[in-house]
Amino acid sequence: MHADIVVLPGDGIGPEVTAAAVDVLQAVAQRFGHQFSLHEHLIGGAAIDATGKPLPDETLAAARDADAVLLGAVGGPKWSDPNASVRPEQGLLAIRKALGLYANLRPTKPHPAAMGASPIKPHLLAGVDLLVVRELTGGIYFGERTRTAESASDLCTYTVPEIERVVRRACLLARGRRGHVTSVDKANVLETSRLWRDVASRIARDEFPDITIEHQLVDSMAMHLLSKPRAYDVIVTENMFGDILTDEASMLAGSLGLLPSASLGEGCVGMYEPIHGSAPDIAGKGIANPYGTILSAALLLRYSLGLSQEAACIEHAVDDALEAGVFTADLASDGTAISTREAAAAVLARIATPARIAG
Ligand code: IPM
Ligand code: MN
């Protein structure tokens, strides 16, 4: 297969972790006889510095033409002046919106070898396998904003079709898993959440009689996610709740640096990004955890290119590296932390050696 992949390294640790994932993609191409053409473009603060815009037209055009997009992270103190008129994060929101990427899949499955890094007790983590489907192009992230000296407002709007399509996507994904969907809202307070709950109930009842759906309020969900994470399969929720709950869910796995994501729409290019941010405090030190981005590359192969065997090869290689205790600083406890490049090398070695992948 030949595929064109746009790479958007972005800011902070973005360039370090995407470099690792690019090496992994090339190793997969070599092992399985594919040809991946990878083209880097600017986004976020790096794009503001070079062009004045967080999402240059040329980047968006390249992304639209590509078979898939791999993104690192955006943002950093250099661009976070509260009075700034352009911000790196606007570039990320704009590309999600422009490409129609309304469903952001954020899987969490704690690896036994990394459970020591989790603040949650191991007996609660055994068997946890969650998929959060975060709505990504609506809600308060995209509503009208106002600001005066005395007040500020952010409008949260959802339309019925916006809710229908993401709930439908979550139910379809649940069909391939354990058949259980938990829809998360704040229906005791918010009107958008009452609409969300109505629509989610109807879609599940009318279109997915084989799926069980349960509704949870976001505050109690935040608690249940830590007290009984095994009880959940697919969790579907609006944009901001999904942002918050998935950072929390990453603590089940042991580190924010481990979680990948896939941003998907309907018949459009997919974008793949780790759920962590640009981590300015460790940027440039070569110590960031590349696994979340490498696992995002695996999702890219599975969802955008239909290469499920190749995706599984990457996932097994990361599992195997974790099993062998190849831990970056966020996971290591006893001074044995290795660098971003060493972690990537451990994955590369396991991809190059088919015997390790058999299981
Ligand atoms: C994420 C990030 C982004 C978001 C930021 C960088 C705009 O936190 O992908 O989760 O809030 O969506
Ligand atoms: Mn986030």
pLDDT tens digits along 284-299: 999 999 999 999 999 9
One domain for residues 206 and 330: no
Q: Would you place residue 354 in the very low, low, confident or very high pLDDT band (cuts 50, 70, 90)?
A: low
One domain for residues 247 and 278: no
Q: Which distant-in-sequence residues (6+ apart) come within 8 Å of 21 by Cβ?
A: 70, 290, 293, 294, 296, 297
User: How many domains are contained in the chain?
Assistant: 2
Pocket test for ligand 1, best of 92, 97, 104, 134 (most atoms within 8 A of CB): 92
One domain for residues 27 and 131: no
Q: Which two tokens stand for residue 301?
A: 């192969």
One domain for residues 220 and 307: no
312 falls within a domain: yes
One domain for residues 127 and 184: yes
Mean pLDDT in residue range 178-195:
98
136 falls within a domain: yes
Q: Which two tokens stand for residue 147?
A: 């600001």
Q: Looking at 229, 253, 277, which one is the last position of a domain? A: 253
CA of 248, nearest ligand number? 2
What is the tens place of the pLDDT at every residue in 148-184? Answer: 999 999 999 999 999 999 999 999 999 999 999 999 9
Q: Which two tokens stand for residue 151?
A: 């007040």
Beta strands 212-217 and 180-185, pairing class: parallel
What is the tens place of the pLDDT at every residue in 289-333? Answer: 999 999 999 999 999 999 999 999 999 999 999 999 999 999 998
Q: Cβ–Cβ contacts within 10 Å for residue 346, how many?
A: 19
Q: In the predicted model, what is the mean pLDDT of the chain?
A: 97
Mean pLDDT in residue range 233-247:
98
Residue 4 known to be catalytic = no
| Atom number of ligand 1 nearest to Cα 246 | 10
- Whether residue 268 is predicted with pLDDT greater than 90 in this model: the reply is no
Q: For the chain, where are the alpha helices, taking DSSP H only? A: 14-32, 44-51, 57-65, 88-98, 122-125, 160-175, 191-207, 218-227, 239-253, 291-303, 308-323, 340-352
Distances (CA, A) of 95 to 6, 121, 212: 13, 38, 33
Find, among 101, 117, 165, the residue nearest to 299 by Cα.
101
Residue 206 known to be catalytic = no
Strands of the sheet containing 212-217, edge to edge, are 35-40, 2-10, 68-73, 270-272, 262-264, 103-108, 130-135, 234-237, 180-185, 212-217
Supply the CATH number for residue 271's domain. 3.40.718.10
CA of 106, nearest ligand number? 1
One domain for residues 350 and 283: yes
114 falls within a domain: no
Can you give the pLDDT at residue 333?
85
216 falls within a domain: yes
**Closest C-alpha to ligand 1, atom 7:** 89
- Whether residue 185 is predicted with pLDDT greater than 90 in this model: the reply is yes
Mean pLDDT in residue range 221-228:
98
- Least trusted range by pLDDT, from 101-110, 321-330, 333-342: 333-342
Q: Would you place residue 359 in the very low, low, confident or very high pLDDT band (cuts 50, 70, 90)?
A: very low
Q: Looking at 201, 228, 253, which one is the last position of a domain? A: 253
112 falls within a domain: no
Q: Looking at 253, 270, 303, which one is the last position of a domain? A: 253
**Closest C-alpha to ligand 1, atom 1:** 275
DSSP character string of 112-170: GGGGGGSSS-HHHHTT--EEEEEE-SSGGGTS-EEE-SS-EEE-----HHHHHHHHHHH
Residue 133: domain span:
119-253
- Whether residue 196 is predicted with pLDDT greater than 90 in this model: the reply is yes
One domain for residues 168 and 97: no
Can you give the pLDDT at residue 355?
52
Distance (Å, rounded) from C-alpha 25 to C-alpha 300?
A: 10
- Asked whether residue 80 is marked as a ligand-binding residue, the answer is yes
**Closest C-alpha to ligand 1, atom 12:** 243
- Whether residue 358 is predicted with pLDDT greater than 90 in this model: the reply is no
Q: Note the pTM of the prediction, 2 decimals.
A: 0.96
110 falls within a domain: no
